[in-house]
Structures are given as C-alpha cells and as structure tokens.
C-alpha cells in the first residue's frame, strides 16, 4: 500500500456516509439530465408531451455540483439518464467533467441508460472518458413493432449504436420492458440475440408511472409467468449476484448468458434499495414509487453554500420511505410523474 492509498482510504472511511432512517446506505445516484427524448415509447410517454421550460431544468454546472456533492458524501455509482440523456446539449461536457471522480478514485462507476439512437456518435467519446458499461433499452428486433412501440423510431439506428458501443469496448446490457400484447412472444428470441452477441439482458415489468394512453392492465406481463415459460425450454440457474437493486439474475445455461428480472410489482425489492434519483429540475426523489421530493434547485438558486446543499441531501436521504406502493390493478398511476421525468 502506498501512502496515497492509505490517505485516500482513511479519507473515505472518515467521510460520513449517507445512511437513511432504516439503516440503508445510499451509494448510488441516478441523475436525469433532461425530460426530453427523440422517442415516445408507449409505456413511458404520452403521444403529445409538454416538456419543461429550459429555465426549470438544471444547467450542466448545477448538475455537476449536485452530483459532485453526492460523491463527496460517499456515492460510489452515478448513472446518467433521462428522458434521453444523449439528446441533452453538452452532455459529454457533463459526463467528461464527472469522470474526474473516477480518476480520483472517489467514484467506482459512471454509467448511463440510453435508447441508443445517438450511440453511434457518442460511444467512442463515452469510452474515452472512462465509461465502461452502459444500458441500452430495446424491446424488439422487429423494425415495424419498434416503430409502433416508440412511435416512429428507427431500429437500424439503435442496432448501429450497439455495434459502435461494442466496437468502442463498452459493455452493453439490454433492457426490455415485457409487454403482454407486443413483445411477449418475441422475448426468447431477443434474449438469445443479446446473449449471442455477448450482451447481458434484463427484463422489466411495466410500472404505473405517469399517465399514458395505453391501459396498463393490458400491457402488464408478470415476469414470474415469463420465467415459467422460459423454463419450459431453457435451464435457468439462479445467480447470487445482487446489485442492491431490484434485479434478480439467472444464468441461461442454453445460451450461456445472464438474464435479469426487474419485478417491482410481483416482488418487492425495497429492503435492499441503495439508490436515490435526481430529476433534471433538481427534485431529489428518495423513492421511485412515492411522491416525496426535496428541491435541491431551490437550494442552489437561493445562493446556498456547499454546506446547505449537503444538509438538504442528508435530510432527504434520512426521510427515504421504507418502500413503494405500486399496484397494477389501480386505475390511477401510483405517481403522476412519468419515468422520463424521474429518470429510469
């Protein structure tokens, strides 16, 4: 061990970590950098969305300041999301700037979730600033269904983006939302395709966030049912791996790849939750499924000092709710804001 390592280890240990009122350490921040998107996925957005006026959205400097305050409080993982993060002007300046925390050893991982449409352009730059893994959302390999589900998207662009990401050396995980009437029958093919390219794959249940045109009880497909179906022709072996998040992983022996299940509705994952989310307006949500939020933008724009920001973050984390309260059968969404606002 060098003296430097001793000092940094000591520094880290001495840093008061963010721990909530239920004793859960919060070490993971999801940062939404925009509510805008170049797609309109049917389960995520309404067809005609009203986006936020620019003045309400945090500047790149404000986003950096808040994210860096979290890093100073012991956050080890940052995920950039949205809306679509790669449509935010200057997003590479933000990501490049935040990568200084990777270089200093204060951050373990800087990553992002993207729809992939602009990855062909951004993948080399992302790899260049130290991003190692990304999540790409892709629900189907059928160009027509892709166009319908995203209301006009071009599948070829996403596939080219995934190619570019792999060529740049990024590890890619594919996230697909399981939709009863749309991609249910295609899921085995999608999983086999991902595993055939050496990509991990995660399936997500639809969550009742925000008003959309479609009826969620129609779209909802239980992943317990998907798993039973997959097990009728594949061997799935449970993996002990836990990310502190909602995913449970299996090894698909037949394809040689890893498959995750995110089941907020049929399996409650709150007891091990280590994450909080910041919207692009500076609202800090300590739980995806509850309305509670702290307004960090107000702290910054009132000219708050670093200590005010840290106090506001600590207060919000301390009040992190015990768990969410999603029920697909309810007519109303559990929370009014869309996933694109909170950041998926």
Query: How far is CA 19 from each of CA 93, 102, 152, 268, 313, rounded to the nearest angstrom?
Result: 30, 22, 43, 20, 11
Q: Quick check: 175 binds ligand SAM (CB under 6 A)?
A: yes
Burial of 179-188, coded b for 16+ CB within 10 Å and e otherwise, reads: beebbeebbb
Q: How far is the CB of 5 from ligand SF4 (least distance, A)?
A: 40
Decide if 335 contacts 289 (C-beta within 8 A): yes
d(CA 200, CA 169): 15
**What phi and psi values does residue 93 have, to the nearest 5 degrees?**
-65, -40
Segment near ligand SF4 (CB under 6 A), from 38-46, 92-100, 243-251, 292-300? 38-46
Q: Quick check: 117 binds ligand SAM (CB under 6 A)?
A: no
Which of the choices ligand SF4, ligand SAM, none does residue 81 contact, using the CB cut-off of 5 to 8 A by kind? ligand SAM
Decide if 279 contacts 13 (C-beta within 8 A): no
- Altogether, the residues listed in the chain come to a count of 344
Q: Quick check: 44 binds ligand SAM (CB under 6 A)?
A: yes
Exactly one of 29, 66, 177, 221 binds ligand SAM (CB under 6 A); which one?
Answer: 177
Q: Quick check: 64 binds ligand SF4 (CB under 6 A)?
A: no
Q: Quick check: 264 binds ligand SF4 (CB under 6 A)?
A: no
Exactly one of 45, 165, 293, 310 binds ligand SF4 (CB under 6 A); which one?
Answer: 45
Between residues 286 and 340, which has the closer beta carbon with respect to ligand SAM? 340
Segment near ligand SF4 (CB under 6 A), from 80-88, 270-278, 297-305, 311-319? 80-88
d(CA 292, CA 299): 17
For residue 149, give the H/E element and its range: helix 143-149
Segment near ligand SAM (CB under 6 A), from 156-164, 202-210, 239-247, 313-321? 202-210
Decide if 76 contacts 107 (C-beta within 8 A): yes
Q: Quick check: 107 binds ligand SF4 (CB under 6 A)?
A: no
Between residues 82 and 321, which has the closer beta carbon with respect to ligand SF4? 82
- CA angle 72–77–80, rounded 5-degree value: 105
Q: Which residues bind ligand SF4 (CB under 6 A)?
A: 37, 39-41, 44-45, 82-84, 115, 137, 340
Q: Which residues bind ligand SAM (CB under 6 A)?
A: 37, 43-44, 81-82, 84, 113-115, 137, 175, 177, 204, 206-207, 209, 339-340, 344
């Amino acid at each position: 061990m060098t003296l430097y390592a001793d000092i940094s280890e000591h520094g880290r240990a001495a840093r008061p970590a963010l721990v909530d009122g239920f004793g859960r350490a919060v070490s993971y921040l999801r940062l939404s950098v925009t509510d805008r998107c170049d797609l309109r996925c049917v389960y995520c957005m309404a067809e005609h969305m009203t986006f936020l006026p620019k003045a309400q959205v945090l500047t790149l400097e404000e986003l950096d300041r808040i994210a860096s305050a979290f890093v100073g409080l012991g956050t080890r993982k940052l995920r950039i999301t949205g809306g679509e993060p790669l449509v935010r002007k200057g997003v590479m300046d933000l990501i490049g700037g935040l990568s200084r925390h990777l270089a200093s050893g204060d951050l373990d991982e800087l990553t992002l979730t993207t729809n992939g449409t602009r990855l062909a352009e951004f993948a080399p730059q992302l790899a260049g600033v130290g991003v190692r893994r990304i999540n790409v959302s892709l629900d189907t390999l059928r160009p027509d269904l892709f166009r319908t589900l995203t209301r006009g998207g071009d599948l070829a662009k996403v596939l080219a983006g995934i190619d570019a990401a792999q060529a740049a050396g990024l590890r890619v995980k594919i996230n697909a939302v399981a939709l009863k009437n749309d991609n249910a029958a295609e899921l085995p093919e999608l999983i086999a395709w991902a595993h055939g390219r050496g990509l991990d794959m995660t399936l997500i249940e639809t969550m009742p966030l925000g008003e959309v045109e479609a009826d969620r009880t129609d779209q909802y497909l239980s992943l317990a049912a998907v798993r039973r179906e997959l097990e009728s022709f594949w061997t799935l072996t449970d993996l002990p791996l836990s990310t502190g998040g909602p995913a449970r992983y299996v090894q698909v022996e037949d394809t040689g790849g890893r498959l995750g299940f995110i089941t907020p509705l049929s399996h409650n994952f709150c007891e091990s939750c280590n994450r909080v989310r910041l919207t692009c307006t500076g609202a800090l949500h300590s739980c995806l499924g509850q309305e509670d939020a702290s307004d960090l933008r107000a702290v910054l724009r009132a000219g708050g000092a670093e200590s005010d920001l840290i106090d506001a973050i600590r207060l919000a984390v301390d009040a992190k709710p015990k768990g969410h309260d999603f029920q697909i059968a309810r007519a109303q969404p559990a929370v009014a804001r869309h996933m694109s606002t909170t950041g998926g």
